[in-house]
A and B are shown apart, each in its own frame.
Chain A
């Protein structure tokens, strides 16, 4: 009996060794992608560039650098927080630009004489409250993250220059309006890419690295998707879309992962009400809040609470963080790079007007291609454990729709706009996923100006009501325009109600 037991143990050990050697126990693999240069990635992540002009910056922001959550830009303690960094790739040492990136203060047309220049030692060294500091932070942050994604194997679109305006026009008249925008100008063939940072306060956005990394994320996503319109409906004026949430989620994740902190905007958040000192603007790891549950951020609420891209985007960034955490657990030195590569590669596959489902499928495909699919269960679990079901039952009935045209008043003598007041009801006993209203002009005759609106998930028996006496005004509806010099009477208007787990509900009215 003892002999048999020891043989059994021997066989068990043998199988375990085989299991590990055979690759089943492989943790992070590199199946089809090019090998990663881990040394280079570590260097970029530490922002420890060995060549280039020197700059003195406080990264990621004074609050994180000091640990003092009450610190403000003009405090005397700021002086001790500066660290030296290298500014890589400057075309000429006296200007913060290279062949692609151009940093400006207010406008693309700023006088070059007004921009930051190095001191007599060739260093870019400015007080935190000086806008030239913001220019330096912009250049350093944007080149660092750009180097990072290139090192991961992603080629970005450099067909047009990228201008970063750190105190964009309008900031001085409205200094309290702290914000940042990225405009890819994808419809035009020659307009530059534009990043604009607004506001000027004791916690300005241009003083925080996360802001530049987040906005770069929007550029990066547009770039790797060939600007096919990941959030085309949102760009066209939709109030809310899953595509918009995915765009924000991706931009947040890039910043959160590169910093390794799992949150962003701790400095800028101090400008907004509802944030306690030191509380980040958004967080990718679990908190005692609603953003961990898909249902709480995606299900339609008559108040319109969930028609907010940032609620869903924060949920989405937690899913991505879970996936990253899994890969870091498997390999604490390199896991973050494999996670970023997989997530960025997935994003490059996203469809026009993308969705959370599309992102999930893209993640599984990217993992299959790059990592032999060994994380498929982790990816699926990350979604499922946060309430995004693996499969949703098909709806037995299309969504019920009832609506009517509402002509909007306008001073225009050449055109007239119309919207739709409507109700959409889910008469099924299952939830309807990602409900959208689409306005189509099958024979022309009008311009579908805001062609789509999204409403998230609609629970069984629940109703979306827009216009008339609803709490949601017509801003949440689609918009069409007719030209008064053309006969539009009798024009066909097609209204399509879409959901991911049921047939379209199609309705026609005439003008």
Chain B
């Protein structure tokens, strides 16, 4: 009888321990999340171009005091501390934007050279609610500096001459605000070049489905066309 009692006490103690341990991860995650919030880890406001300039060789990043900068600061630090993964060239500038999600805050970096966006070199990091960084996507490549010399550029009108059988520009050619110059990179080629990116209609289609066309600014050739796959 005594033996049975001892066994019961032992089973009771063991089960209490198991129940506490099994509950711990859940509580722990909650506590971590709360700590993160207290430290302003969560970004409150989405803002474009929040990030400070990151350049190769930069030794220190000011994380900033405002809560808006803290997530970007953590992400910046991560990029600087992992140069093998992110061999950012001195002529490249990274600009960050953030968006909140239940998983934490996503920080998306777009890469610029001399003020022109490099299409296709995006970096996406996730800063969790506990401040941990996860690399979601790294499309950065250390491509060579692209020569920016407006002397040899064709005008958008010149570029579109000869494309009339394929495309119609969406909007007005005189509307220069819609003229978008960027640097085109391709995962299937190591070369990069300056391009016009414009909204167009495919005139071969019955319906006026708009898409985007990418033309070289130097010789006007069509590099890519993106049309929505998202038909119902």
- Determine if B87 is an interface residue (Cβ-Cβ < 8 Å): no
Judging by beta carbons under 8 Å apart, are A182 and B197 in contact?
Answer: no
B interface, size bucket: 35 or more
- In the bound complex, how far is the Cα of B231 from the Cα of A281, in angstroms? 13
- A190 to B176 alpha-carbon distance, docked (Å): 11
Cβ distance A382 to chain B, nearest Cβ, rounded Å: 20
Q: Are B103 and A369 in contact (CB under 8 A)?
A: yes
Is B187 touching A451 in the complex (CB atoms < 8 A)?
Answer: yes
Q: B136, A349: Cβ atoms under 8 Å?
A: yes
Which residues of chain B in 107-141 are interfacial with respect to chain A, using CB atoms and an 8 Å cutoff? 108, 117, 119, 122, 124, 126, 128-130, 136-137, 139
> In the complex the two chains form, is B128's CB within 8 Å of A369's CB?
yes
Contacts of B198 in A (CB 8 A): 188
Known: A32-B33, A372-B29. Contact between A414 and B221, CB under 8 A? Answer: yes
User: Do B101 and A15 touch (CB < 8 A)?
Assistant: no
Instruction: Please pick, from A156, A179, A214, A226, the residue contacting B108 in the complex, using a CB distance under 8 A.
Output: A226
Residue-wise interface mask of A (167-185) relative to B, using a CB-CB cutoff of 8 A (1 in contact, 0 not)? 0111101100101111111
Q: With A32-B32, A156-B99, A170-B207 in contact, is A348–B199 under 8 Å at CB?
A: no
The answer to whether A29 has its CB under 8 Å from any CB of chain B is yes
The one of A177, A281, A483 that contacts B207, using a Cβ cutoff of 8 Å? A177
B214 on the A face (CB < 8 A): yes
The answer to whether the Cβ of A449 comes within 8 Å of any Cβ in the partner chain is yes
Q: A34, B102: Cβ atoms under 8 Å? A: yes
Measured in the bound complex, the distance between the Cα atoms of B230 and A248 in whole Å is: 7
A352 touches B99 (CB 8 A): no
Q: How far is the CA of A448 from the CA of B120 in the complex (A)?
A: 15
Within 8 A of B (CB), among A182-199: 182-191, 194, 196, 198
Stretch at the interface among A54-62, A229-237, A467-475, A500-508: A229-237
Distance to closest chain A CB from B104 (angstroms): 8
In the complex the two chains form, is B102's CB within 8 Å of A153's CB?
A: yes
Task: Report whether A23 and B23 are in contact in the complex, using a CB–CB cutoff of 8 Å.
Answer: yes
- Contact between chains at B210 and A194 (CB < 8 Å): yes
Q: How far is the CB of B146 from chain A (nearest CB, A)?
A: 13
B160 within 8 A of A: no
Q: Is A228 an interface residue (CB 8 A)?
A: yes
Q: Within 8 Å CB of B187, what residues of A?
A: 451
| Segment of B56-64, B77-85, B177-185 engaged in the interface with chain A | B177-185
Q: Is the CB of A183 within 8 A of B232?
A: no
The answer to whether B208 touches A168, judged by C-beta atoms less than 8 angstroms apart, is yes
Q: How far is the CA of A214 from the CA of B228 in the complex (A)?
A: 14
Partner pick for B232 among A23, A187, A214, CB 8 A cutoff = A214
A341 within 8 A of partner (CB): yes
- Residue numbers in A under 8 Å from B128 (CB-CB): 32, 369
Q: Is the CB of A188 within 8 A of B197?
A: yes
Chain B residues with CB under 8 Å of chain A are 4, 8, 11-12, 15-16, 18-20, 22-23, 25-26, 29-30, 32-33, 46, 48, 97, 99-103, 106, 108, 117, 119, 122, 124, 126, 128-130, 136-137, 139, 162, 170, 177-178, 180, 182, 186-191, 197-199, 206-212, 214, 219, 221-232
Known: A181-B230, A352-B137. 9 other contacts (CB 8 A): A7-B8, A154-B100, A155-B46, A187-B224, A226-B106, A227-B122, A231-B229, A447-B222, A481-B222
Q: List 24 A-B contacts (CB under 8 A).
A: A7-B8, A22-B19, A26-B26, A31-B29, A168-B207, A173-B206, A177-B206, A181-B209, A181-B231, A185-B199, A186-B226, A188-B212, A191-B178, A191-B180, A196-B209, A211-B232, A218-B230, A224-B99, A226-B124, A348-B106, A372-B26, A414-B221, A415-B221, A444-B190
